[in-house]
């Protein structure tokens, strides 16, 4: 039976990789278990004077290749298994682009849309106080994720610095540029995905200037993906959606108009010049490039057979189940797997760490050039591995990334 639990999906993917790499069962067992987990309760004084207790997590999945790195989510449906899965994917993601980091992830069960700015700041600072012993520029470095922002990162960095009694800009990435953030970080996840799409189009033979694109999810990654498809390639974005529904326009959607509509109404559904469609229908549209950029498990065994896109570029984490992966592979759909396609964010976060350590900021052009080199190299290494073993792109990404983690574990004497 197809699992909807993201961490169970991670375990299935590790098992598939272990079979290809012929890993010892003890190594596989280590890869399927986080090294460290911290569960915390965070009391927050609300604006009305009452105290609410929020549940939070921080997981350091594997630090064989270096200090751990990973975002912090604020989400009302956050679960420990989701955080475990995301921490695992961060481990493979860092190895995939060959940066010297391990994987981590954090989360708080909350709905930030219902919190005032003051409540959000107190929650952000409370989270850092609760997990302070876990964090550090030479230990574990968080970053933004779903419903967390550069401002939240600034509060968290400041709280850590207050406790440490010295400025510690390097403890957090995704900060505003004026306090140690990196130029090019805002659209890094989407831009990294664009470099992968560009290379995939060359291999498949798609003229991106004439290509049609559908974007599932219109948060930070989804908006920038839609914008960059137009700006970098001249592609026609014909559909976008969010959690409340979607819109299509075969002549092409004004991506900035869709963003303004979402900012004012909390959904893209009223975008001028478009017609309503469901988010589910968007996934099955006849387009050249489909970009899942929202949540886990949206392409499953039930709808994978109806996917018509030639390229599926996963900017979301875990949008495709293992069963759906097999179906897409047999259909000849070129899937750019999540921890390759969306690795631009952590790559530029790593660049931000380097700039913080050196106390020397880079130009945006430098960031883009270095990101392009990292993503292009990673993409082709996965394509070559996929062809060598005749396996899916996701299995190939696992073979490359997990192989690097296992090598580090062996060299350190863990296994």
Catalytically annotated residues? 105
Specify the 3-state DSSP secondary structure of 54.
Answer: strand
Beta-carbon contacts of residue 268 (< 8 Å; ≥ 6 apart): 218, 240, 241, 242, 245, 246, 247, 258, 261, 262
Specify the length of the chain in residues.
415
Specify the 3-state DSSP secondary structure of 331.
Answer: helix
Four-residue CA torsion sign, 122, 77, 242, 236? positive
Identify each DSSP E strand in 257-363 by its residue range: 275-277, 289-292, 311-313, 334-336
Nearest to 196 by CA among 319, 338, 292, 307: 338
Nearest to 408 by CA among 58, 14, 37, 92: 92
Asked if 23 and 341 count as a contact pair (C-beta separation under 8 A), the reply is no
Specify the 3-state DSSP secondary structure of 212.
Answer: strand
Beta-carbon contacts of residue 198 (< 8 Å; ≥ 6 apart): 208, 232, 233
Q: Which helix (H) or strand (E) holds 248?
A: strand 245-248
Indicate the angle between helix axes 80-96 and 393-411, nearest 10 degrees. 80
What number of other Cβ atoms are within 10 A of residue 37's Cβ?
16
Specify the 3-state DSSP secondary structure of 207.
Answer: coil
Phi, psi at 168, each rounded to 5°: -135, 65
Q: From CA 161, how far away is CA 70, in angstroms rounded?
A: 19
Tokens of 59: 């997981």
Q: From CA 262, how far away is CA 27, in angstroms rounded?
A: 46
Q: From CA 401, how far away is CA 415, in angstroms rounded?
A: 17
């Amino acid at each position: 039976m197809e699992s909807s639990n993201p961490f169970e999906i991670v375990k299935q993917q590790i098992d598939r990789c272990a079979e290809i790499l012929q890993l010892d069962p003890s190594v596989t067992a280590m890869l399927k278990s986080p090294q460290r987990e911290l569960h915390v309760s965070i009391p927050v004084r609300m604006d009305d004077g009452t105290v609410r207790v929020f549940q939070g997590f921080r997981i350091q999945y594997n630090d064989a290749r270096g200090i751990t790195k990973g975002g912090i989510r604020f989400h009302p449906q956050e679960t420990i298994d989701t955080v475990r899965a995301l921490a695992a994917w961060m481990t493979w993601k860092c190895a995939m682009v060959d940066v010297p980091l391990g994987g981590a992830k954090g989360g708080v069960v909350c709905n930030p849309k219902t919190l005032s700015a003051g409540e959000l700041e107190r929650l952000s600072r409370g989270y850092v106080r609760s997990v302070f012993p876990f964090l550090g520029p030479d230990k574990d470095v968080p970053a933004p994720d779903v419903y967390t922002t550069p401002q939240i990162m600034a509060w968290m960095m400041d709280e850590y610095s207050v406790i440490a009694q010295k400025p510690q800009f390097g403890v957090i990435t995704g900060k505003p540029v004026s306090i140690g953030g990196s130029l090019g970080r805002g659209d890094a996840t989407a831009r990294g995905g664009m470099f992968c799409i560009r290379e995939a189009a060359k291999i498949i033979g798609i003229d991106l200037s004439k290509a049609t694109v559908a974007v599932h999810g219109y948060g930070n990654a989804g908006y920038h993906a839609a914008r960059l498809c137009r700006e970098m390639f001249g592609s026609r974005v014909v559909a976008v959606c969010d959690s409340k529904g979607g819109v299509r326009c075969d002549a092409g959607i004004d991506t900035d108009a869709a963003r303004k509509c979402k900012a004012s109404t909390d959904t893209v559904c009223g975008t001028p010049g478009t017609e309503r469609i469901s988010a589910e229908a968007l996934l099955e549209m006849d387009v050249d490039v489909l970009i899942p950029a929202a949540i886990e498990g949206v392409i499953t065994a039930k709808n994978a057979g109806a996917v018509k896109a030639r390229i599926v570029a996963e900017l979301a984490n875990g949008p495709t189940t293992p069963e759906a992966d097999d179906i897409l592979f047999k259909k000849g759909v070129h899937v750019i797997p999540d921890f390759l396609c969306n690795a631009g964010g952590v790559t530029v976060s790593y660049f931000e760490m380097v700039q913080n350590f050196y106390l020397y900021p880079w130009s945006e052009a430098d960031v883009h050039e270095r990101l392009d080199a990292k993503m292009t190299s990673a993409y082709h290494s996965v394509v070559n591995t996929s062809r060598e073993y005749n396996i899916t792109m996701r299995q190939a990404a696992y073979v490359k990334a997990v192989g690097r983690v296992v090598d580090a574990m062996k060299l350190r004497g863990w296994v």
